[in-house]
Amino acid sequence: AIVNYEGNKIEKLKLEKCGSAAFEEVHEFAAAIREGTTTWEDLDIDDADVRLKWAGLFHRRKRTPGRFMMRLKVPNGLLTSDHMRFFADTVGIYPADVGVIDITTRQNIQLRGIELQDMTELIDGLQMRGLSNVQSGMDNIRNLVGSPIAGIDPEELVDT
């Protein structure tokens, strides 16, 4: 990769390593933590704080070191009760002040307080339910939002 050494630190990190590699690395790192061969502290935090955002993972190093917030893409904000139960079960294993579910103004879900070793199970569960954390942050398209009364509004121009 061509690296502009005069650019800012974040742009250098983005040029040095492809962001798409973050998805595979999340699974590898989660497995290594579960096996006891490494810890989250062994992660290059500066690199992770930039590149893991492509995987929808945000590290809050000052507020909750070692825990991540995962932003999901929820097209049109449509969720099922199964989705919500899955979210509750996911954060329910963490202390109540850490494991939190946010519903955002962009009709997204954010799961807070997640530890890296639990990411594989979480990502697999999302995919089984037709949801995604792929490119839900950073320099990416965030989410498509829609009307909460789509399909039932007699005055709507388009059923979104």
Give the DSSP letter string of 10-50: HHHHHHHS-TTHHHHHHHHHHHHHHHTS--GGGS-HHHHHH
CATH of domain 9-128: 3.90.480.20
* Predicted pLDDT at 79: 92
* Predicted pLDDT at 17: 74
Q: Which residues of 88-107 are buried (b: 16+ CB within 10 A; e: fewer)?
A: eebbeebeeeebeeeeeeeb
DSSP 3-state of 124: helix
* Predicted pLDDT at 75: 82
pLDDT tens series, the chain, 160 aa? 565 556 777 777 777 777 777 888 888 888 999 999 988 888 887 777 777 888 888 888 788 888 999 999 888 888 999 999 999 999 999 999 999 999 988 888 999 999 999 999 999 999 999 998 887 776 677 777 788 788 889 998 887 6
Q: What is the pTM of this model?
A: 0.81
